[in-house]
Amino acid sequence: MTDAWESNSVLRAVTAIVGFMAVVLAMDTLRLFGGEQWLSFAISLETHFYFALSALLLPLTFLNYRTHAVLDVVLALAAALVCGYLFTQAYAIVDEGWEFGAPQYATWASVGLWVLLLEAVRRAGGFALALIAGAFSFMPVFAEHLPGPFAGLASSLSETAAYHALSIESIFGLPFRAFAELVIGFLVFGVALQRTGGGRFFLDLAFSLLGHVRGGPAKVSIVASGFMGSMSGSVVTNVLTTGQMTIPAMRSSGMSAERAAAVEACASTGGVLLPPIMGSTAFVMATFLDVPYYQVALAAAIPALLYFGALFLQLDAEAGRDNLAGQPKETLPRVGATLRAGWFYLGAFALLVFLLLVLQREAFAPYYATAALVVLNQFSPDHRWHLSDVVDFLAAVGKLLGELFAVLAGVGLIVGALSVTGLSGTLVNDLLYLAGDSVALLLLMGAAASFMLGIGMTVTAAYIFLAIVLAPALVQAGLSPMAVHLFILYWAMLSFITPPVALGAFAAASIANARPIATGIAAMKLGGAIYLLPFLFVVHPALILEGTTTSVLIAIAAAIAGLFLLVGGMQGFLPLLERRLGTFARLVCALGGMAVAASPVFLTGG
Mean pLDDT, range 482-496, rounded to an integer: 89
Residues in the chain: 606
Closest CA to 317 of 478, 165, 525, 66: 525
Q: Rounded mean pLDDT of 521-532?
A: 88
Q: What is the mean pLDDT of residues 469-486?
A: 89
pLDDT above 90 for 38: no
User: What pLDDT does residue 244 have?
Assistant: 82
pLDDT tens column, 541-599? 999 999 889 999 999 999 999 989 988 888 888 877 777 888 888 899 889 988 898 88
For range 341-357, the mean pLDDT: 87
Q: Let me know if residue 210 belongs to a domain.
A: no
Distance CA 603, CA 592 (A): 16
Q: Is residue 318 part of a domain?
A: no
Compute the distance between CA of residue 121 and CA of residue 239 in angstroms, rounded to an integer.
23
Q: Calculate the alpha carbon distances from 331 to 207, 335, 362 in Å.
A: 10, 12, 41
Q: Quote the CA–CA distance of 237 and 190 in Å, as a whole number.
A: 12
197: Cβ contacts below 8 Å, ≥ 6 apart: 342, 380, 382, 383
The confidence score (pLDDT) of residue 2 equals 45
At 396 the pLDDT is 93
Position 271 scores a pLDDT of 83
Q: Is 554 within a domain?
A: no
Global confidence as pTM: 0.83
pLDDT, tens digit, for every residue of 397-430? 999 999 989 988 998 998 899 888 888 767 666 7
Q: What does the DSSP 8-state code read for residue 4?
A: -
Provide mean pLDDT across the span 3-31: 85
| Section 102-107 average pLDDT | 92
Which residue, 82, 79, 81, 103, is CA-closest to 93? 103
Q: How is residue 36 annotated by DSSP? A: B
What percentage of the chain reaches a pLDDT higher than 90? 33
* Residue 59 pLDDT: 97
Tell which residue, 278, 303, 408, has the closest CA to residue 356.
Answer: 278
pLDDT higher for 113 or 531?
A: 113
3-state secondary structure of 98: helix
Task: Give a yes or no: residue 232 inside a domain.
Answer: no
Angle subtended by helix axes 516-526 and 293-322, to nearest 10: 110
Which residues form the domain of 111?
A: 5-175
Q: Kindly tell me if the per-residue pLDDT of 234 is higher than 50.
A: yes
**Is pLDDT at 1 greater than 50 in this prediction?**
no
* Average pLDDT over every residue of 128-151: 85
| pLDDT average, residue stretch 485-506 | 85
**Has residue 459 been placed in a domain?**
no
Total domains in the chain come to 1
Which whole number is the average pLDDT over 256-270?
90
Closest CA to 28 of 409, 364, 354, 360: 364
CA distance 555 to 578: 26
* 566 part of a folded domain: no
Closest CA to 315 of 517, 565, 575: 575
Round to whole Å and give the CA distance between 390 and 15: 12
**DSSP run (H or E) holding 107:** helix 104-125
Give the confidence band of 602 by pLDDT, cuts at 50, 70, 90. low
Q: Rounded mean pLDDT of 281-289?
A: 88
φ, ψ of residue 501 in degrees (nearest 5) = -90, -70
Confidence class for position 601, pLDDT limits 50, 70, 90: low
Would you say residue 470 lies in a domain? no
- Is 457 in contact with 501 (CB distance < 8 Å)? no
Instruction: Encode pLDDT of 72-104 as tens digits.
Output: 999 999 999 999 999 999 999 999 989 888 899
Task: Give 297-329 pLDDT, tens digit per residue.
Answer: 899 999 999 999 988 888 888 887 877 777 778
**Is 64 within 8 Å of 5 (Cβ atoms)?**
yes
In a domain, 211, yes or no: no
Mean per-residue pLDDT over the chain, rounded: 86
